[in-house]
Amino acid sequence: MKITLLEPLGIPAQVLEQYKARLEAKGHSFTAYGDKTTDPAELIRRTGDSDIAIIANNPYPARVVEAAPNLKMLDVAFTGIDHVALDACKAKNVMICNAAGYSTQCVAELAIALTIACLRHFGIAVQETEQGYAVAGGQQYHACDLTVEGDYSQAAFFCVANALGSDITLTNLNPESVQGDKKIVEIVREMCYNREQGLPAGFTVDAADIPDLVPILAVLATFGTAPSSITGAHRLAIKESDRLASTADLLNRLGGKVTATPDGLEIEPVEQLHGGTVDSCGDHRIAMCAAVAATRCAGEVTILHGECVEKSYPRFYEDYRQLGGIANVIVLES
C-alpha cells in the first residue's frame, strides 16, 4: 500500500522517519512532503498512484480526486472537511477519515468527556474500561429538557475584551463545564491580572491543551506590563491558517511586538496599537482577534476576508456592534 503525506503536519522529521520505517517493515511505502501547495497539478503529481493520501487544511479539489487512479482513502488531519471535494470522493468511493492530527491526548479526552456527559444526560450508560469506554447496545435515549451551555472558545474573545477595558456581561457559561477553553477564565482572572495597575501582567502559558486560545491570549499579552510567552503550540501550523505566523503578523501590523517561534509566541508589551490593515488569512479566530485588538487601537482596523467568522460565529460582527463596537462588513465578489 502506498501512503503519501501531501503537506506538513508539524510532525518532527525524526518521528516521520520512525513512521516510515514501521510502515516499510510491513511492506508499505510512505512519502512525506515538507511544504504546502494549492496547485492542483502539483497535488495530482504528489498524490500519484497513492492508496492513502493525508492532508491538513489545504484544498483538495475534484480534479485531483478524479486524477488519482488508486486512491481509496483521504485522511484529513484537520477539524472539518469543507475544503475537500466530497462529491468527487463519493463518486469514486474514496473513504474520508477526519482525524484532527494536531490534537493532544488531553484535547481528545476533553472532547470525549463532553460526549459522555451528553449521553448520560439522555439516559445512556457509559462504562470506563482499561482500553477506553464501553457503551452497551439496546439502550434507549430518554427525552429531557436541556440547555446547551455557552462556548468558552468564543467567550474567550469577550473575556479578553473585558480585561482590556470593555464592560461585557457573559451569560450561559457553565462554571462546571468540562470544556478545555474554560481555562480562559482562570488565565484572565488569576494568572494575568495586575491588581495594582489594573492591567494584565506578563504570563507564561503552555497551550498544548488549549490551542484555540493562543491568538486571543497574544492580544491580551500585547497590553501586559511585562513580556509573555506561549508555548506548546506547534500544532497550530495546520489550523485554518498557520496561526502562530498569522497571529504574529496580525499584531505586528497593528504596532505590536510579537515573535513566532516553532513552538509558540513571544510577546513584548506595548502601550497602544496604532491600527492598520490586516489579513485574517481566512481564519475565523484571527479575524475575531483583530476585532478585539481594534478596541485598543488608536486608528481604524481593516480586516481582509473578515467574513470567515461565518465558520464558527456567524453573529460575531452583529454582537460586536450591539456591544458598542463599529464594524462594517463588505464582502467583495471575486
What is residue 33's three-state secondary structure? coil
Written as nine digits, the cell of 316 is 460575531
Round the CA-based radius of gyration of the chain to a whole number and report it: 22
201 DSSP β-pair partners: none
Kind of pairing, strands 73-76 and 95-98? Answer: parallel
CA nearest neighbour of 230 among 254, 257, 211, 249:
211
Kind of pairing, strands 52-55 and 73-76? Answer: parallel
Report the amino acid identity of residue 51.
D
CA nearest neighbour of 258 among 296, 228, 282:
228
Exactly one of 181, 212, 242, 279 is catalytic; name it. 212
DSSP 204: E
State yes or no: is 212 an active-site residue. Answer: yes
Q: What is the dihedral of CA 64, 70, 76, 77, to 10 degrees?
A: -120
What's the CA gap between 312 and 314, in Å, rounded?
Answer: 6
Put residue 276 in one of left, alpha, beta given phi > 0 → left and psi -120 to 50 → alpha.
left
DSSP 149: P
What's the CA gap between 156 and 159, in Å, rounded?
Answer: 5
**Cell 439516559, residue?**
123
98 DSSP β-pair partners: 76
Report the amino acid identity of residue 326.
I
Query: Which sequence positions are flagged as catalytic?
Result: 212
